[in-house]
Amino acid sequence: MSKITFIGAGSTVFAKNILGDVMQTPALQGFEIALFDIDGERLRDSEQMLLNLKQTSGSTCVVKAYNDRKEALRGARYIVNAIQVGGYDPCTITDFEIPKKYGLRQTIGDTVGIGGIFRNLRTIPVMLDFAADIREVCPDALFLNYTNPMAVLTNVMITHGGINTVGLCHSVQVCVPHLFDHLGMDPEGVKWHIAGINHMAWLLEVSKDGVDLYPEIKRRAAEKQKESHHDMVRFELMQKFGYYITESSEHNAEYHPYFIKRNYPELIERFNIPLDEYPRRCINQIEDWKKMRDSLVLDKNLEHCRSHEYASYILEAMESDVPYRIGGNVMNTGLIPNLPREACVEVPCLVDRNGVTPTYVGNLPPQLAALNRTNINTQLLTIEAAITGKKEHIYHAAMLDPHTSAELSMDDIIAMCDDLIEAHGSWLPAFK
């Protein structure tokens, strides 16, 4: 029996989307769905939820929960990863509260920036443990990574883990539909081309019937900027740099040095930037789970409609050999020549029985490549810190981060990193 292993299966709502999709896919019937999570209670909740879906969908997939990670992985053909090391309490709280003492504010903190750096440092060792198990018990499996920070973790799994990996993010497939909905434009029949790095990929081309739609997009966006709305940062970046970016404004506010500034507090209001947004979401999600748990876990009539998540479509394409196109995170094997080859890039990929095949993009417009490189610098130094165990590279990663370096002196950045290392305690490996 072929096996799909879901690591981090206690993320019940996300597991419903990914694995509910699998149960809706004819080419994936008969697979074992293997569930693993370090939280036994949440693991059992997800198992029961999926058994409910199996009953209502008529799926022939076999649902099985495992307490042993290696056994959950043994013989897997596909692996879905959706873990979060350290969770909201204590690690996310630490990522936000200690920088705040130094005057450094964040919105999401899960990609680059000081929050992204430390999320990487506590997650990379866990991911490399996964890689060791995979090499032993399912070396030919495809690893579908949904965990942030996407670019660094996907890079590490490929480069240092030796695992066939593709990183998957929601932002590519929803970019144009959400943009057009916001601007009151019809996305029907629209063609687009997106490439760059995760959370900072660029809408390079957007057209309909051969007509470039960017002039109309920019005209409508300029009108929108006259009043406060949820996407002001991205519209400002598009106005100044010429292209729209995939990930949300609350994310992009902290990827650049232009928006969150102590000496210019008016920018926060002007661009409608939600400081401390991710901790608020965590609190809301914890409360929402208490309310929705019974409706997912105890509802024997639970139903599911196939979502827009890439995972089931990738598996379907590989099993059926009917090609499918995705935006995937892969290593830059010359795909975007004016970005470093050591970087993980987000580019269009073709999926079929041969697996995930990235497509050549070519050079990005120089200003876009330059913006990407500012984030890649921090990504690569974070990997260097994790692999070498040298504390100095943590400092380097933080000092090269655009937002952090725009706000703090080098001495304060080093002191802040030391405080974060101490506060994380055993959540981090020892650095020398």
Contact assessment for residue 408 and residue 262, using Cβ atoms and an 8 Å cutoff: no
Contact assessment for residue 59 and residue 29, using Cβ atoms and an 8 Å cutoff: yes
Catalytic residue among 170, 178, 182, 193: 170
Please tell me the predicted confidence (pLDDT) of residue 331. Answer: 98
Contact assessment for residue 353 and residue 318, using Cβ atoms and an 8 Å cutoff: yes
User: Cα(416)–Cα(213) distance, rounded to whole angstroms?
Assistant: 45
Please tell me the predicted confidence (pLDDT) of residue 1. Answer: 78
Residue found under tokens 């949904």:
146
Quote the Cα angle for 322-326-331, to 5°: 115
**Residue (of 200, 195, 144) closest to 167 by Cα position:** 144
Q: How far lies 200's CA from each of 83, 372, 392, in Å?
A: 22, 7, 27
User: Cα(349)–Cα(346) distance, rounded to whole angstroms?
Assistant: 9
Phi, psi of 167 (to 5 degrees): -95, 135
Asked whether residue 338 is marked as a ligand-binding residue, the answer is no
Residue found under tokens 């480069």:
159
**Residue (of 160, 131, 134, 128) closest to 331 by Cα position:** 160
Phi, psi of 113 (to 5 degrees): 65, 180
Element at 150 (helix H, strand E): helix 150-159
How many residues comprise the chain?
432
Percent of the chain past pLDDT 70, that is, above it, reads: 100
User: Cα(164)–Cα(158) distance, rounded to whole angstroms?
Assistant: 6
- Which tokens belong to 2? 């072929």
Please tell me the predicted confidence (pLDDT) of residue 78. Answer: 98
- For the beta carbon of residue 105, count every other beta carbon within 10 angstroms: 20
Enumerate residue ranges in the chain where pLDDT < 50. Answer: none
Q: What is the DSSP string of 193-220?
A: EEEEETTEEEEEEEEETTEE-HHHHHHH
In three-state secondary structure terms, 356 is: strand
DSSP 300: T
- Which tokens belong to 65? 């929960």
Quote the Cα angle for 424-427-430, to 5°: 85
Active-site residue 170, yes or no?
A: yes
Quote the Cα angle for 270-248-179, to 5°: 95
User: Cα(256)–Cα(263) distance, rounded to whole angstroms?
Assistant: 16
- Which tokens belong to 412? 């304060």
Asked whether residue 305 is marked as a ligand-binding residue, the answer is no
Q: How far lies 341's CA from each of 155, 159, 277, in Å?
A: 11, 12, 33
The architecture of the domain spanning 3-167 is 3-Layer(aba) Sandwich (3.40)
User: What residue ranges do the domains of the chain occupy?
Assistant: 3-167
**Residue (of 85, 111, 113) closest to 98 by Cα position:** 113
Asked whether residue 148 is marked as a ligand-binding residue, the answer is yes
